[in-house]
Structure 1
């Protein structure tokens, strides 16, 4: 049972595929970063994973590696201010795509990141990636024949690192190139007592509106009947004021 003031996020995810990369035999290293502060996860929970290595298949002009690698995790957010309507920050999914050659040497093919969906339900995320590069043909020859490439020491540098405390983060001098993309499929579930309270409040409000609508309908019918009675009374008074010779025995007016 979720404690009052807590918000729980459950994610059943899948690393679906990776496409558009230069080399074959791809695998993906990924992890979820929880914002510092009120976010937490169970001690036994793993927030990272590595897929199996997959060869690519030609799909049109691209080469696609299908992983279908499942993962799951949960996280909790504890509200300090109950009046706050939105969460200050949301967890981020980071990924690193690598390739493996015949000699078991790996090369970084791309880095990417995406904020997890803030709404429950099923979502498909396509994360575009990039990698740092060196200028000149020597670096590319080294990458092709010897393996290895420039790497980020901190994977969170793809966005704004959690350890960064300044006002401006400069990436001046970092040369990069766009590579391929990774597709994730996420099924998100959110749990909080606040949702139950909001739902109950909506039901109570709907009940009040229904009752008001019923009262309004009853009032309209009453007004119609009252107007009919007044019109009938005026008609009877008008008939009573007519001369008797103009009124037939049957009670109708003679023309």
Structure 2
């Protein structure tokens, strides 16, 4: 089988309304893909930078897949949260990006967004926190459902990934 090894890190996030951020991440691959080693989901620590607009996480990613075809190429998704001074966590954004298909080192910025509710929801969110969230993360991957959402742009998550491809030609898989 052809193999893909993804090594890198979730560097951090920038351009969010407030600092004190952390994120949950996960890698989603199609049914043709088999996880050989590594962890396909995780959570960073909270970073509250005082002097700059970039939350550093430096959270490692090391995942190894085997596949019979490129259909369902892995994607990584993010849920970025803001933690207030009382320890409450508020969703600040969702983001999805494809793992690069070419071998080598890649620096990626994954732009995030969050659902926007009614004017009453926004009023309540301003004073109480919280806000609309997706019922299922499957909506991140399904285009038709996602296109019907009303959203607003949030910040970006920075990734540094190294992609190693093995045995793609030998098994007739073209990336």
Deviations 1:61-91 (A, max 9, x none): xx21111111211111025xxxxxxx23311
1:99-248 pair list within 5 angstroms: 99-136=82-119, 138-160=120-142, 169-171=144-146, 174-192=149-167, 194=169
**CA separation in 1, counterparts of 2:123 and 2:86?**
16
Quick one: distance in 2 between partners of 1:56 and 1:134? 29
Hey, what does 1:3 align to over in structure 2?
Answer: none
The corresponding residue for 1:52 is 45
CA distance in 1, matches of 2:54, 2:33: 35
User: What is the aligned partner in structure 2 of residue 71 from structure 1?
Assistant: 61
Deviations 1:110-151 (A, max 9, x none): 111011000111001100010001232x43343244222211
* Structure 1 residue ranges without an equivalent (≥5): 1-5, 80-86, 162-168, 198-255
3-state SS of paired residue (1:194): coil
TM-score where L is the length of structure 2: 0.87
**Could you say what secondary structure the match of 2:138 adopts?**
helix
**Do structure 1's residue 15 and structure 2's residue 5 form an aligned pair?**
no
**Runs of at least 4 residues off by over 6 Å:** none
1:17–1:39 distance in 2 versus 1, CA, 3 Å: same
* Contact 2:140–2:146 (8 Å) recurs in 1: no
Task: Please report how far the alpha carbon of residue 56 of structure 1 lies from its aligned counterpart in structure 2 after TM superposition.
Answer: 3.0
Distance 1:143 1:193 in 2: 49
Q: In the superposition, relative to structure 1, how do residues 88 and 51 fare at CA in structure 2: closer, same or farther (>3 Å)?
A: same
The separation in 2 between residues aligned to 1:33 and 1:174, in whole angstroms, is 21
Provide TM-score, normalisation by structure 1: 0.62
Structural RMSD (CA): 2.3
**Paired residues of 2:139 and 2:146 also in contact (CA < 8 A):** no
CA deviation string 1:22-45 (max 9, x = no partner): 122100110000112x21113x64
CA contact under 8 A between 1:99 and 1:108: conserved in structure 2? yes
Gaps of 5+ in 2: none
SS of 1:24's equivalent?
A: coil
